Chain A
């Protein structure tokens, strides 16, 4: 059932506003040179960091529909009755969320890098850091979505909750993009893994607590 659940969520993610986070990501990449000025040197230096900020906020955009619609509709209850543990549901949701924005973000990084004048070597590091960091970002978004489900104005609260926790990921991802040091990459991967490992349990606990 977990495969069917991932496919279902992925289909819902892609038929919904899948292009919105990516369009948002590219929008930021387009606006930065206008705001900073056309200094290729400067843009190349800060470009990767700017793109990581854009990726972070893009991952946050669909957070309101990741869990809440299924909770309100009783899908999470039925899944439990059909023998799918809440933790398993959480893993499926993380996988589906990542699949709906991770690969697209990876592709969008190419035009974004061109817009910001990021050179080939830095682009390679940026792409690698996206592969490493976005699964952790997806895990964090799903956990935050579960924690804020049922709340009014969940979107803005989710932002307040997600951004501080995402800061370590941002620091090491941007550091790796900047200097390409292996330590930064290892720390980014460690944080990503930590988020991936912890999120299913946080998500499942939040789902259980929301059952009334």
Chain B
């Protein structure tokens, strides 16, 4: 049972074809990194995988999934733990894993962009879904953050999950690549 399957998928942005004939399968325990230059459609592919965009042609099969992208999606006035708690799941463990447990009572609006990135990754970790979609997960993360992310991903994969990440940087670990654009 694969967690995500793209079958000859094409995506249009306006009148422009962003990519076509993209096919891949993600099974439990697998990871895949989407690479490509700026504007190649990495983020769009992630949003397409999440079901937030419509494919122009081809077929996509998806189960339950969680997405971490540049949108924070937390109440900025609330303390971090309550803001994360709105989305549910084992929030304490996830905050511990991403190294933001000490920020539990800090209002979201006071967090740095690196801390916000960790918080969005903690939401994904707490979501309990099998498939994680990560758009530029390393943006704004320091080396400690990148290490914790890598550990969280390894743990998720060993428990039968899968990760689809888009990044132009190299993510720690062995990642099969899916190249977009020339």
Whether both chains belong to one complex is answered with: yes
Chain A interface (Cβ within 8 Å of chain B)? 4, 8, 12, 15, 72-75, 77-78, 80-83, 211-212
Contacts A74-B71, A81-B66 known; A4 to B86 CB distance under 8 Å? Answer: yes
Q: Are A77 and B53 in contact (CB under 8 A)?
A: no
Chain B interface (Cβ within 8 Å of chain A)? 13, 47, 50-53, 64-67, 69-75, 77, 86-87, 123, 127
Closest 7 CB pairs of A and B: A74-B71, A74-B73, A78-B73, A75-B73, A211-B52, A73-B73, A77-B52
Contacts A4-B86, A211-B53 known; A77 to B75 CB distance under 8 Å? Answer: no
Contacts A80-B52, A81-B50, A81-B66 known; A12 to B75 CB distance under 8 Å? Answer: yes
Contacting residues, chain B, for A82 (C-beta < 8 A): 87, 127
Contacts A4-B86, A15-B77 known; A81 to B72 CB distance under 8 Å? Answer: no
Q: Are B86 and A8 in contact (CB under 8 A)?
A: yes
Specify the main secondary structure of chain B where it touches its partner: loop
Instruction: Select the residue from A15, A78, A82, A83 with max chain B CB neighbours within 10 A.
Output: A78
Q: Are B67 and A78 in contact (CB under 8 A)?
A: yes
Q: Are A77 and B66 in contact (CB under 8 A)?
A: no
CB of A64, distance to nearest CB on chain B (Å): 16
Contacts A211-B52, A211-B53 known; A77 to B86 CB distance under 8 Å? Answer: no
Q: Are B51 and A80 in contact (CB under 8 A)?
A: yes
Contacting residues, chain A, for B77 (C-beta < 8 A): 12, 15
Contacting residues, chain B, for A77 (C-beta < 8 A): 50, 52, 67, 71, 73
**Considering the chains assembled together, what is the distance between the CA atoms of A81 and B47 in angstroms?**
11
Contacting residues, chain B, for A211 (C-beta < 8 A): 47, 52-53
| A-B residue pairs in contact (CB < 8 Å), sample of 14 | A8-B75, A12-B75, A15-B77, A73-B71, A74-B70, A77-B52, A77-B73, A80-B51, A80-B52, A81-B50, A211-B52, A211-B53, A212-B13, A212-B53
Contacting residues, chain A, for B75 (C-beta < 8 A): 8, 12
**Considering the chains assembled together, what is the distance between the CA atoms of A55 and B179 in angstroms?**
56
Known: A75-B73, A78-B87, A82-B127. 8 other contacts (CB 8 A): A4-B86, A8-B75, A8-B86, A78-B123, A80-B51, A80-B52, A82-B87, A211-B53
Contacting residues, chain B, for A212 (C-beta < 8 A): 13, 53
**Considering the chains assembled together, what is the distance between the CA atoms of A25 and B70 in angstroms?**
39
**Considering the chains assembled together, what is the distance between the CA atoms of A15 and B72 in angstroms?**
21
Contacts A4-B86, A8-B86, A15-B77 known; A81 to B71 CB distance under 8 Å? Answer: no
Contacts A12-B75, A74-B69, A74-B71 known; A81 to B51 CB distance under 8 Å? Answer: yes
CB of A8, distance to nearest CB on chain B (Å): 6
CB of B67, distance to nearest CB on chain A (Å): 6
CB of B21, distance to nearest CB on chain A (Å): 22
Cβ-closest chain B residue relative to A71: B71
CB of B167, distance to nearest CB on chain A (Å): 18
Contacting residues, chain A, for B127 (C-beta < 8 A): 82
Contacting residues, chain A, for B67 (C-beta < 8 A): 77-78, 81
Contacting residues, chain A, for B65 (C-beta < 8 A): 81
